[in-house]
Structure 1
Amino acid sequence: MAEEILETIIPGTYVRVRAEGLIRAGGFAVGNIGIVGTARIQAVDDNGDPETGGDGSPIFDTSIYGRTFVLSDYASARAQLGEYDALLNAAGAVTGQLNLVRALQVAYQNGARTVFARALSPTPAPNRTAYEEAFAELIKDDVNILIAPELTPDEATAVLNPLLVSAENNGKDLIAVVGGDVDTTDLTGFLGAVPSNDTGRLIFATPGVYSFDAAASEEVALPGQYTAAAVAGLISGLAVQSSPTNKVLPGVTRLTQRFAYGEMAQLVSGHVLALEERRGVRVVRGITTHTGAFAQVTTRRIVDAAKRGIRLSADPFIGKLNNQRVRKTLYGAIASFLDTMVSAEALVGYTLEVTATRDDEIAGRAIVNAVILPTFSIDYILVTLNLQ
């Protein structure tokens, strides 16, 4: 059925359909994780038996490299990417080479749902360029939260921060979680080196966590980088308006470090997302490394969700008539989406207007001005006791 009446030559009834009033934003993901790490799996033959070389050494499947896996649970990660190796050697030194699935275990134990993963070969050890190239491919998919648990905080920041900036400039809003251990003997120096992002897209989590190592059949202390996987898993399972503050990490039973009150106060004041053992392992305060408007994780995620929903509402109107009728339906589509955010308690309220002057119409512009009021969480409860 044509939307427009193109000609009226033969007598009859001609119908014009104007369907703009039915345009609405569809659903979209807000907690998909993107991860890059080392993995290896043995190849199998047509009978499903493991392949070996002439000397009996295993032949590994190289097809897992250079592609993105969409994983929904830990079992599928193991099946497609292989098992991880023991993290520690007999002397207690970190020697594990297959760490992607190890990080996925931590993420899924703490609430991760959909994960987009890219594997790197452990031999030779991947360099920064390998991670940059893998993440550049990964962000082409529908990911929201990036983690690189095998990289040190400095390395992860160097790889992820430019991606966050370029992705935002290209209309894709992401956050990244970086983890690290704390040097409490030089807390000032540590806090001075905490990475930052000008738009609140970087979260720095600490300290390290304990996790069961299936390869070694024992619980091991994971370096602080892997805390990023735990925190990313927690955040991915939360609605954008639900703060990580005071939330329990279900897959973590104890931490590698415990902080005194003064140390914890400095970490939180330094915009570090710190964990503590208090009736389980909890997030002390869900904050980013940003010192401005986007200090709260929820503020960053709510605004990103609003931006994406408005884009999805408005994009179908590209190419439509720029007149009062169509702008009114554009207003309705955006307002409908923002209403859902209000009903979900992600927003307290909003104001919206869609306008265009004659010059705007000639230039092909429709101007949308929106003021949104994000919801905030309770961080402090102040009690006054009056005695009588």
Structure 2
Amino acid sequence: MVCGMTRIVPGVEIQVIKEIVPQQLNPSGVVAMIGTTEKGEPLVPTPVSSYAEFADKFGASDKFSVTKDVRQAFQNGVFQVFVVPIAGRNGTKASLLLKDRKGRDTLLLTSKSMGEDGNVISVKVEDEPEGDAVKIMISDGANIEIYDRIDMETVETINRKSALVTAQDLKSSSKAPNNNPAPVEASLAGGVTGVISKEDYEAALEKLEGEPDIDLVVACDVTDPEIHALVEAHCMKMSLEARNRIGLGTVASGESVRDICARTKTLASDRFVLVAPYGCTGAVAGLISKLNYYESPTFKPVSGLPKLEANYTPSEQMEMLKAGVLPLEAQRGRGIVVVKGISTSKEQISVTRVADHAVRGVKNISDLFIGTLNNENGRMALKGNITAFLTQMERENAIVPSTDGKEPAFLLDVYSSEMDFAQGIVRVNLAVRPVRAIDFIYATIKVEA
């Protein structure tokens, strides 16, 4: 691309050419998990890169739905998890209002945990011997935190160190040291666990629309078909914007094979995976995210599962596979493995991921050419860059030619009709043949200047 031309002396010109180098695609393997957490701000997508980081930010109690799935995902090699906590409607955090020595409000302690769990936190305030500060002891029964020599100038120490509460200085009008909390022994109160509804999941999924790098979406410990449908609809919507992603859901505990198979009659989609038996979704999400985008999870082992809740017979497995359910099986010498990595439409997950990778890559390249496609040279440059990207996919054996060699691994056309050109539109027609796919998968990407 010509960026500028400057004459230095008569007869000599310098032409500066800027080569458009596509940005590297963000790594695949990013999983979004929606559900309840011990602590953390509701509806704020937060990335974590290890289970230790998750436990520090959101707590490690298995009473909350996200904890187990995040642990399983990291045990299976997930690259990164975006956690979206939900608290339910009318949920509140427990709190305790402390008075100063003059009876005025001086310090508000609020539980970091949403709901009734915060009500068990006890607080004890004692005078220090010098009298110009206090000792504050905070405990939830399992953990105890002690803060010595705390006054209203150093109350931020609690916010920096406490895993149980946050502290807010209410700016008492009493002069120091009388503005310090008076001795007291009490518990936080008022924590109410909110009722989780479909609207909470809708709000969480809407927040994820602003995160472009997510590959998989899990509604943790959710067996409701309506929530599964919401996740699938979100993934389908994002695929239209080249932010392709796949949703995962679990069957219910103790659910019969017949009822499991009936689920896919109303939710047959390349964008949703139903995992059976109950309690394995996080492990499957971690496994898929760890694999290269062109690798199939079929017969791959998962980690972190001591046992399966249900052991299906071969005939039950076949029944579920025919219905588009992804079952797991414990095999001697191999551990717990994915029987077949399919979505509810019976499409192989790896085929969908290959097509998604191709669309993301072409979109990534096309974005860099916006404003340079008003001539044939610009369009040829775009086609050349896309061809190089797809050729690399072919070298990785992610896309392959037909076995008889008559059809190539991909087809590509970059064109602009007279009407398109007048509107500043260039179309990229793309067809790729993913490995393990029967035929081409087609896509059209519209680039607008």
When normalised by structure 1's length, the TM-score is: 0.76
Q: In the alignment, what sits opposite 1:350?
A: 410
How much does 1:8 deviate?
7.1
SS of residue paired to 1:366: strand
Q: In the alignment, what sits opposite 1:50?
A: none
Q: In the alignment, what sits opposite 2:217?
A: 146
Which of 247, 263, 266 does residue 193 from structure 1 map onto?
A: 263
Matched, 1:305 2:357: yes
How much does 1:357 deviate?
4.4
Evaluate the alpha carbon distance shift between residue 114 and residue 306 of structure 1 in structure 2; reply closer, same or farther with a 3 A threshold: same
CA distance in 2, matches of 1:77, 1:311: 32
How much does 1:69 deviate?
1.5
Q: Give the RMSD, CA atoms, in angstroms.
A: 2.6
Show CA shifts across 1:281-321 (max 9, x none).
00001100014xxx110111000000000001111111114
Q: Which has the higher helix share?
A: 1
Evaluate the alpha carbon distance shift between residue 169 and residue 337 of structure 1 in structure 2; reply closer, same or farther with a 3 A threshold: same
Matched, 1:204 2:257: no
CA distance in 2, matches of 1:232, 1:11: 65
Q: In the alignment, what sits opposite 2:287?
A: 234
Q: In the alignment, what sits opposite 1:283?
A: 338
SS of residue paired to 2:22: coil
How much does 1:144 deviate?
1.1
Q: In the alignment, what sits opposite 1:17?
A: 16
SS of residue paired to 2:429: strand
Show CA shifts across 1:207-266 (max 9, x none).
1xxxxxxxxxxxxxxxx1x32211111101011111000000022232011111211110
8 A contact 2:8–2:14 mirrored in 1: no
Q: In the alignment, what sits opposite 2:98?
A: none
- Structure 2 unmatched runs, 5+: 88-114, 116-192, 401-408, 438-449
Matched, 1:364 2:424: yes
CA distance in 2, matches of 1:191, 1:138: 29
Written as runs of structure 1 = structure 2, the 5 A alignment for 1:228-267 is: 228-267=281-320
CA distance in 2, matches of 1:120, 1:183: 26
How much does 1:83 deviate?
1.9
8 A contact 2:69–2:220 mirrored in 1: yes
How much does 1:343 deviate?
1.6
CA distance in 2, matches of 1:310, 1:165: 18
8 A contact 2:399–2:433 mirrored in 1: yes
8 A contact 2:221–2:250 mirrored in 1: no
CA distance in 2, matches of 1:267, 1:199: 15
**Pairs aligned (count):** 323
How much does 1:182 deviate?
7.2
Matched, 1:180 2:271: no
CA distance in 1, matches of 2:76, 2:344: 22
Show CA shifts across 1:168-219 (max 9, x none).
233321100111147675x344312236656500000101xxxxxxxxxxxx
Show CA shifts across 1:46-75 (max 9, x none).
xxxxxxxxxxxxxxxxx6334222101101
Q: In the alignment, what sits opposite 2:3?
A: 3
Q: In the alignment, what sits opposite 1:158?
A: 229
Letter in 1 for 2:358: A
How much does 1:127 deviate?
1.9
Identity %: 27
CA distance in 2, matches of 1:23, 1:110: 34
CA distance in 2, matches of 1:81, 1:328: 50
8 A contact 1:37–1:119 mirrored in 2: yes
CA distance in 1, matches of 2:276, 2:362: 35
8 A contact 2:43–2:203 mirrored in 1: no
